[in-house]
């Protein structure tokens, strides 16, 4: 796998390369890319900035991108400089400028009130819309004068009590084990070292905040909001209220059926959707009008149902059961041999009648990229059953990890 390091900071690149050394991933830097990219770090949190940088580089290169944002949080300053750490003393300043301003503000503050921490958020963003976020923290004390010539940023004024040295005084082999960035990127390393056969889970037909947060708490990868005629239809206004409360790490998918392009774009902008799912007779040309990640759904009846899939340039393909009466939500399965055949076209979301009784068999047989469930975990249309959903997730994760 090739991953783009979404940073132009040579100090960071050196440190990250050392931490991730030895895993079977090729790291590509801006020096190996055709051009440099400038990303405005205007997020309100470290997570927002990290994800934004990774997304920009991912879209530019078409490859998974890895970015981070770090901040120094000084307790005496109620968490400042935080997300503004790199420009604490202003725009286009040096590390020394930031350190000088911090020490000036902290002049005369007693040691017991000089506690602080470095926090690092690393974000790994994939072309298929997945986002993985990792956090690392190291606790320390702000000293009264810089010490050490190694490291960068605030390292010379950040004392690690366990070693009685600043991060700028520690040897690289120690720093790369205990620093905030080391902790975060060790988690990245563990993630990249895992077997990636884990099947993703999308819960569709979300109509209320409780179900959305239940899915989030269970570690579901994506939630779907249906903006078409359905028992589980939701208005854009209600969907926005739910989506705005959810973190960036869970995908929000808008489901449309033969909708006008203008209306799709209105809901996309209003609700900040991550992916668009088209569940009707939309043409290949229609799908190409959208730069966002797309899922094109196909209702599967027989082998002929697969013939049109290669004509669509979508990010993934969702396979549902054919019905003359409805575009989805039949609660019935189809011949999964056809789903196995369809995998050659790209990532497959397997839908159609999945429930507690058959999802493990479905994953064993098809090994889909993701499973898509709605009616199979409901108390009634539009309302998820907490026990069913929890058990569904447990079974999906269990069969994925076992394999």
Answer whether 389's CB lies under 8 Å from 382's CB.
Answer: no
Half-sphere exposure of 4 (CA within 13 A, CB side): 27
Q: Which residue among 69, 211, 221, 320 is the active-site one?
A: 69
372 among known catalytic residues:
no
Count Cα neighbours of 213 within 13 Å in the Cβ-side half-sphere.
Answer: 7
Residue where the block lists tokens 């059953």: 385
Do 196 and 402 touch, CB atoms closer than 8 A? no
- In which element (H, E) is residue 213 found? helix 209-217
- The residues pairing with 383 across neighbouring beta strands, listed in sequence order, are 380
Q: Say how far residue 391 (Cα) sits from the centre of its chain.
A: 24
Tell me whether strands 222-226 and 251-256 are parallel, antiparallel or unpaired.
parallel
Taking phi first (over 0 means left), then psi (-120 to 50 degrees means alpha), and beta for anything else, what does residue 104 get?
Answer: alpha
Picking from 85, 183, 81, the residue whose alpha carbon sits closest to that of residue 139 is 183
Q: What would the DSSP string read from start to end of 224-278? A: EEE-SSSTTB--HHHHHHHHHHS-TTSEEEEEESS--HHHHHHHHHHHT-SEEEE
Q: Which two tokens stand for residue 232?
A: 């589980």
Upstream peptide bond of 81 is cis (omega within 30 degrees of 0): yes
Residues noted as catalytic: 69
């Amino acid at each position: 796998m090739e991953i783009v390091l979404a940073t132009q900071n040579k100090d960071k690149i050196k440190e990250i390369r050392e931490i991730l050394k030895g895993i079977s991933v090729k790291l590509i830097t801006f020096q190996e890319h055709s051009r440099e990219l400038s990303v405005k770090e205007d997020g309100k949190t470290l997570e927002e900035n990290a994800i934004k940088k990774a997304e920009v580089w991912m879209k530019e290169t078409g490859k998974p991108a890895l970015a981070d944002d770090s901040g120094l949080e000084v307790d005496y300053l109620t968490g400042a400089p935080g997300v503004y750490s790199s420009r604490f003393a202003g725009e286009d300043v040096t590390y020394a400028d930031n350190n000088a301003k911090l020490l000036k503000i902290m002049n005369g503050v007693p040691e017991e009130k000089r506690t602080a921490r470095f926090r690092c958020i690393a974000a790994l963003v994939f072309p298929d819309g997945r986002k993985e976020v990792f956090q690392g923290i190291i606790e320390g004390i702000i000293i009264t004068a810089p010490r050490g010539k190694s490291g960068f940023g605030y390292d010379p004024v950040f004392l690690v009590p366990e070693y009685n040295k600043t991060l700028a005084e520690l040897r690289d082999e120690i720093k790369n084990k205990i620093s905030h960035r080391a902790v975060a990127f060790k988690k990245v390393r563990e993630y990249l070292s895992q077997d990636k056969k884990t099947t993703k889970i999308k819960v569709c037909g979300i109509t209320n905040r409780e179900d959305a947060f239940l899915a989030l708490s269970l570690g579901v990868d994506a939630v779907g909001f249906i903006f078409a005629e359905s028992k589980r239809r939701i208005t854009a206004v209600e969907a926005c209220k739910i989506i705005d409360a959810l973190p960036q790490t869970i995908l929000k998918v808008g489901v449309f059926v033969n909708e006008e392009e203008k209306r799709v774009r209105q809901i996309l902008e209003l609700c900040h959707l991550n992916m668009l799912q088209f569940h009707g007779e939309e043409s290949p040309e229609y799908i190409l009008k959208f730069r966002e990640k797309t899922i094109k759904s196909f209702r599967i009846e027989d082998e002929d149902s697969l013939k049109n899939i290669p004509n669509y340039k979508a990010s993934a393909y969702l396979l549902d059961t054919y019905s003359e009466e409805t575009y989805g939500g039949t609660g019935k399965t189809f011949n999964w041999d056809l789903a196995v055949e369809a995998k050659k076209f790209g990532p497959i979301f397997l839908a159609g009648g999945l429930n507690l009784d058959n999802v493990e068999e479905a994953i064993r047989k098809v090994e889909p990229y993701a499973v898509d469930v709605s009616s199979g975990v409901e108390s009634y249309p539009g309302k998820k059953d907490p026990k069913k959903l929890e058990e569904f997730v447990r079974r999906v994760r269990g069969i994925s990890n076992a394999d």
